Structure formats: structure tokens, C-alpha cells
Amino acid sequence: MTLKEKTKILDKESMDRTLERIAHEIIERIKSIDEIALVGIKNRGAHLGVRLADKIKNISGSRPLVGALDITLYRDDLTQVSEQPVVHATEIDFDIEGKKIILVDDVLFTGRTIRCALDALVDFGRPGQIQLAVLIDRGHRELPIRADYVGKNVPTSNKEVVEVKLSEVDGKDEVVICEKTE
Amino acid sequence: MEKVIWTKKDLLGIEYLSREEIELILYTAQSFKEVTTRQIKKVPALRGKTVVNLFYEPSTRTRISFELAAKRLSADVINVAIEASSVRKGETLIDTGRNIEALNIDIIVVRHNCSGAPNILSRSVAASVVNAGDGWHEHPTQALLDVFTLKSKLGHIDGLKVSIIGDIAHSRVARSNIWALGKLGAAVTVCAPKMLIPEGIEKIGAKVTNDLDEALEGADAINVLRMQFERDSVVAFPSKLEYFKQYGITRDRLEKCKKNIVVMHPGPINRGIEMSSEVADGQNSVILEQVTNGIAVRMAVLYLVSHAKKRREQEKV
């Protein structure tokens, strides 16, 4: 199976503007930065979490707490995948008790990753509230989960794959829709 | 790390692992170490799996460590105490294994006084087999937790000088450590009285010396092994005091070594025989960290091997 690039949905500038807007929305809904913490879902969500924190600092003057969550051990398809996924470290070095946690991920699809993240997160304590910020919402939910902050809604088919590329991992910033071809 | 894929059903010894596989275990263990520091020290990765601890030799710390590791992965654990089992009635290892398997067990952790027993068991059962020490052959998870501890202390293994001091002849820990350190690029020296050096040990990559000062000079770390005076086979040294004089690690000796030399011991320690209390409880000692790290390393091993059975079930379909 190969992937054929179909359309570019975001480039470097538009991705940056989108994140900027999400940062503003987050600030709009809170009283002070101290009450929130951003937790990115590894791998790319973690980088987006850091970027959002930097933007919130630029706008408001103070930087929220940032952590990164690896959800591998909580996946519900561990008994189905053919290769044991590599487990990465979770880095949450603050107390989440009572905090308003904003989960950050690149693409919201079936919702199963977020389900795992919720399970993983409550093992760290009892947050006051959990919200979700995603760069792309591509639909096809299999669980009753929705995002509180969405960068871009993108209608997709099941044959398509949304690829988010970030300079921290992939060397450039862009989001493309690819199609699976045999 | 993304590219290495674990394919082995069992962990029988370090000898059979590649450098990449060892590094994958260490990387995975690093992630599990974070889990063991949480308030809720439990993840659901092995939910619904069953692990049997099959111990033909007495062991407290290794068994507890494996049991905790399995429980923190949410697996169910059964401990089989051999004294109370049908082995006393003459059942063979293979039959015991097959019976355990008929109970739909996923992972068998086995300790046996015969070298190679886990290898035999692994060939006769579909369940994963993890070697928790077999005779004088290997004790792979001990070596893995030793290199894990060393790596977290010094940052790397490549290029280190590590000396293993003590009863090399009767030590599976020594053997597994020589393999692991060698594969990760460290230079290994073993040091003991002549009678406690097994023939051919240099063939698996260790330099041999009978002189403790030579072993300590320039060493980045030492792994001090337990003198097993309780074993009848150890008549190789006349007295405990004599051993301590010649091979015991004392503060005086340590002061001549590298300042940050790491002192390890697989436990249980004979204070005043292999090392003095000052050294065992001193700044350079990482003995208790080894115990803590043992759980993370064993979690990583159980997590990785647990998948192999799944893979073969899929292939059957």
C-alpha cells in the first residue's frame, strides 16, 4: 500500500495562524493561566502542545504548564496490532489535581486515541476539567467524543489519510490529505 | 527506536539478543520507570493476560520483582512453589509446562537449577518463557537491570570499563553481564581467585585477572558478586576473612579508584565478605537503585514478549 498526496490543507503560515487562533480561544475562556495545563499526546500532539504554550505566553505574558502523554499502554487495540508498539515516556511533572487540562493532538479521527488519553490522564490524579484541542478534525467518530478547540474541520473518506507534518519531527510544517492506493 | 521490532517469543538469555534488541528493552524500561513513579503505578497493557512464576529454586527478590512487574501491567499472576507442587511427585519440566499451558497461561517466568531448562521449556510450550535464572548459565533480567542502572548513572555504556568481581565460576549474573556489556560496547574484566574463574570465560569477551587492584584501576563501574558460601560446591576459598582481605571492596580501595566509580551488587550482600558496609551504603553504591530499576526492566520484558504469542495466533488464522 502506498500513499498518494491529494491536497494540501495547511501550509506553514496557515498552520501558524490556526494555532494562534486556538491560543486566543483558550485564553478567552479562562480567568488566569495558572488554572490550565496543556498535555500533548505523543508524538506530534506533544509538539503542538509546546507551540500552543509558547503562543499563549506571547499573547498573555505567562506560560502555562506543558506535559506530554504517551498512550501506547492504554490502547484498546494492543491485542490486534501485529507489531508491539514502542512505548515512549510520559512527561507530566506537575500535579494535575483540580487543574483544567487541555489535551492537544494533531488529528481527531475515531476518538479512540482520546479515550486512551482520558484513561491515562486520570491515572495521574483527578483534574478539575479536561478539554480537547486538535489541529484537524476529520470526522468518522467511533466514540462519543468531540473537540473543544478545532483548527480545521476537514471532511474525509475512509480511504484517505490525513498527514500532519511538523518541523520538529518531519522538517517542515504542513497538513496534506493522501489517498491509499494498492 | 522506531525501527526495531521485537519478534522473540521468549527471553532465554542475553547471548541470543542483538545490540538493537537490548537497546529496545532499555528504552522501553525507561518509559516504564516513569509508570513506577506515578501515584497510580499501574497500566492496562497486559490486562487479561496471565503470568506464572515457576520457581524451582528459592528466590525472594527476583520473584517479587517479576510479580510486581506483572501486576503493574495489570496481568494476573500465579506463583508456583515447587516444594508444594506435583514436581515432588515426579512430574518432568516439560509435562509441568504443558499442564500450565493447558490452563491458558500466556507467560511463564522460570527459574531452574539446571542450565538450559528455560530453553527446553520454551520449545515445548507456545507460551512465552522468560528466564529468571538457570543454573550457571544466564540471568538475563539481572544483567538488563544492571546495564539499565549503569546507563542511567553514567549516560552511556559504550566505551566504559566495567569489572565483575567475585565468584565468576558459579555465576549466571556474571555470564549475562559479560554478554550484555560486551554487546553494548563496554570493556569487561572479570576478577576472582583462580579457582573461581571458569575455563573459557575469555571466549565470551571478558579479560581475566586475579589481581583486584588491576581490576579496579581505571574502572568506571564494578559489579561485585555474591560469594555463595552456602553452596557445597564452593570450597574454593579457605576462609571468608581471607577472601575479604584479598578481594573485599573497602573504602580505602575505593578511594584509589575513579571518583565517580559506580558500585553494583545483585544482592543479597554478604557485608564484610564481598564489600564493607561503608561501601555498600556509600555514595558510589547504586545497589538499591538496581532493585527499583528491576521492576521497570521486567515490565519492559513482559510487555515485549507478551506480543509474540499474539503474533503466532494471528499467523495461524
pLDDT in tens, B22-45: 999 999 999 999 999 888 899 999
Mean pLDDT of A50-71: 96
Say whether B44 and A119 touch across the interface (CB within 8 A): yes
Residues in chain A closer than 8 A to B43 (CB atoms): 73-74, 120, 123
Report helix angle B140-154 to B287-316, nearest 10.
120
- Report d(CA A56, CA A26) in Å as an integer: 8
Cβ of residue B312 closer than 8 Å to a chain A Cβ: no
Residues in chain B closer than 8 A to A72 (CB atoms): 45
User: CATH assignment of B140-290?
Assistant: 3.40.50.1370
Q: Range with the lowest mean pLDDT among A62-66, A89-93, B49-53, B292-296?
A: A89-93
Higher pLDDT, B312 or B145: B145
What's residue A103's pLDDT? 98
Q: Which of B35, B42, B314 sits opposite A82 (nearest CB)?
A: B314
What's residue A133's pLDDT? 98
| CATH classification at residue A70 | 3.40.50.2020
- Report d(CA B242, CA B240) in Å as an integer: 5
CA nearest to A94 within chain B: B38
Judge whether A121 and A150 are in contact, CB under 8 Å: no
With residue B221 as reference, give the H or E element that holds it: strand B221-224
What's residue A114's pLDDT? 96
What's residue B230's pLDDT? 66
Mean pLDDT of A81-93: 82
- Report d(CA B175, CA B169) in Å as an integer: 9
Higher pLDDT, A104 or B316: A104
Domain count within chain A: 1
DSSP A25: H
Residue ranges making up the domain that contains A55: 13-77+88-157
- Asked if the domains B14-138+294-316 and B140-290 are classified in one and the same CATH topology, the answer is yes
Answer yes or no: is pLDDT of A34 > 50: yes
Cβ of residue A109 closer than 8 Å to a chain B Cβ: no
Say whether B311 and A74 touch across the interface (CB within 8 A): no
Mean pLDDT of B189-205: 92
Answer yes or no: is pLDDT of B261 > 80: yes
Query: How far does B191 lie from chain A, in Å, by closest CA?
Result: 37
Residue A7 lies in a domain: no
Answer yes or no: is pLDDT of B187 > 80: yes
Instruction: Using pLDDT thresholds of 50, 70 and 90, give the confidence band for residue B87.
Output: low
What's residue A2's pLDDT? 80
- Report d(CA A175, CA A7) in Å as an integer: 9
ipTM of the complex: 0.78
Q: Which of A70, A84, A124 sits opposite B307 (nearest CB)?
A: A84
**Percent share of chain B, pLDDT over 70:** 91
Higher pLDDT, B226 or B150: B150
C-alpha pair distances (Å), A147 with each of A65, A152, A162: 20, 11, 17
Mean pLDDT of B259-276: 94
Cβ of residue B34 closer than 8 Å to a chain A Cβ: yes
- Report d(CA A180, CA A2) in Å as an integer: 6
Cβ of residue B2 closer than 8 Å to a chain A Cβ: yes
Residue A32 lies in a domain: yes
Say whether A86 and B45 touch across the interface (CB within 8 A): no
C-alpha pair distances (Å), B159 with each of B162, B197, B219, B301: 9, 24, 11, 25
What's residue A86's pLDDT? 86
Tens-place pLDDT, residues B198-224:
999 999 999 999 999 999 999 999 999
Determine whether domain B14-138+294-316 maps to CATH 3.40.50.1370. Answer: yes
Substitution target from A79, A84, A94, A121 for chain B, most B beta carbons within 10 A: A84
What's residue B269's pLDDT? 92
What's residue B317's pLDDT? 47
What's residue B316's pLDDT? 55
Q: What is the mean pLDDT of chain A?
A: 93
Residues in chain A closer than 8 A to B5 (CB atoms): 83-84
Residues in chain A closer than 8 A to B300 (CB atoms): 87
Instruction: Using pLDDT thresholds of 50, 70 and 90, give the confidence band for residue B123.
Output: very high
What's residue B1's pLDDT? 60
Say whether B42 and A123 touch across the interface (CB within 8 A): yes
Say whether B44 and A125 touch across the interface (CB within 8 A): no
Residues in chain A closer than 8 A to B34 (CB atoms): 89-91
**Percent share of chain A, pLDDT over 70:** 98
Residue A2 lies in a domain: no
Residue A162 lies in a domain: no
Judge whether B266 and B225 are in contact, CB under 8 Å: yes
C-alpha pair distances (Å), B125 with each of B70, B80, B175, B212, B217: 20, 17, 26, 44, 47
Query: How far does B303 lie from chain A, in Å, by closest CA?
Result: 8
CA nearest to B24 within chain A: A86
Cβ of residue A93 closer than 8 Å to a chain B Cβ: no
SS3 A116: helix
- Report d(CA B69, CA B75) in Å as an integer: 9
Residue A181 lies in a domain: no
C-alpha pair distances (Å), B60 with each of A42, B128, B139: 37, 22, 15
Residues 46-85 of A with CB under 8 A from B: 70, 72-74, 78-79, 82-84
Answer yes or no: is pLDDT of A82 > 70: no
Higher pLDDT, B224 or A87: B224
Tens-place pLDDT, residues B159-183:
999 999 999 998 999 999 999 999 9
Domain limits, chain B: 14-138+294-316, 140-290
What's residue B128's pLDDT? 95
CA nearest to A76 within chain B: B45
First vs last C-alpha separation in chain A: 5
Residue A178 lies in a domain: no
Residue A42: CB atoms within 10 A of its CB come to: 19
Residues in chain B closer than 8 A to A88 (CB atoms): 31
Query: Whose grid coordinates read 499442564?
Result: B99
CA nearest to B315 within chain A: A82
Higher pLDDT, A80 or B82: B82
